[in-house]
Amino acid sequence: MSLALSPAARDLLQGWLAHVAALDGASAATVRAYDCDVTGFLTFQGTYHGAAPGLGPLRGLGMRDMRAWMADQRNRGVGARSLARRLSAVKSFYRWWAERDGFEATAVLATRAPRFQRPLPRPLARTAAREVMDTVAEQDDRAWIAARDLAVVTLLYGCGLRISEALGLTGAALPLGDGLRILGKGGKERDVPVLPTARQAVARYARVCPFDMEADKPLFRGVRGGALNPRQVQLVMEKARLQLGLPATATPHAMRHSFATHLLEAGGDLRTIQELLGHASLSTTQAYTAVDTARLLDVYRAAHPKA
């Protein structure tokens, strides 16, 4: 049976979460995930040692304690990728705590994350991306909704936005210029260029939308005037892929993958693509090089006379 955290441990954890939210700019969802991950780790250690996890025992955790927790997680069916994420949260907490209180957290910080194969992005072919936008533009008989859906999907593909970033825009973004300042993950800002096609799609939507484009209100609206739900964009893409016979991987996020992959295919610089996507680490962006290499190998095998 799991033991509750001691008041001191809970206060310490809350202090770290406040630090993450205030200084690291983590989103509310990220903070909740960190809370869940670290709370689970600390309560396991209490159960494992048979006492409510106080600060003293938690400072002195060794490799045996870490291996026991990881084994417990795997026995519960936690995959390698999820376990690596949880371990990363635990390490971040302990790193902050050790620096604050001046103790060694070697066993925790030296624990190796399980290896896992990151899935490669699944972009659409260029023709398929264009066909998706053409299909989305004709899905709804209501002109303003069809224009809205096309504007959103065009921003995903034309600017490489995440769906949350596109739906986070407000009327203050109008009229779109040559560039757009985006508030991305972790509260990080980045500037992205806006293609004429994207400007035109958003401008047309703004003209026919029945709701006022107030600066402090969402740019993209649902049928009742509230903020557009991301699920609606997912349904629009799902309908388009079924009409076009595309695979289930043809999601809104695939349009962002397509943006990055097609830039790379055209000779785009990896660092520039990293900045356009808002990736914190270049290693995340490098996944697109694997996609491009796989495409080149396919072309080679199909075209080379001795392949």
Tell me which residues are annotated as active site: 162, 185, 253, 256, 279, 288
C-alpha to C-alpha distance for 206 and 141, rounded to whole angstroms:
17
Is 43 within 8 Å of 4 (Cβ atoms)? yes
* Helices marked H in the chain: 7-23, 28-49, 55-59, 63-75, 80-101, 106-109, 126-136, 143-159, 163-167, 196-208, 230-244, 252-265, 270-277, 282-285, 287-303
SS3 category, 211? coil
Sequence-distant (6+) residues with CB within 8 A of 199 are: 175, 176, 177
* Residue 176 token pair: 């779109």
d(Cα 298, Cα 262) in Å, to the nearest integer?
A: 16
Phi, psi of 218 (to 5 degrees): -55, 140
How far is residue 56's CA from residue 103's CA, in Å, rounded to a whole number?
11
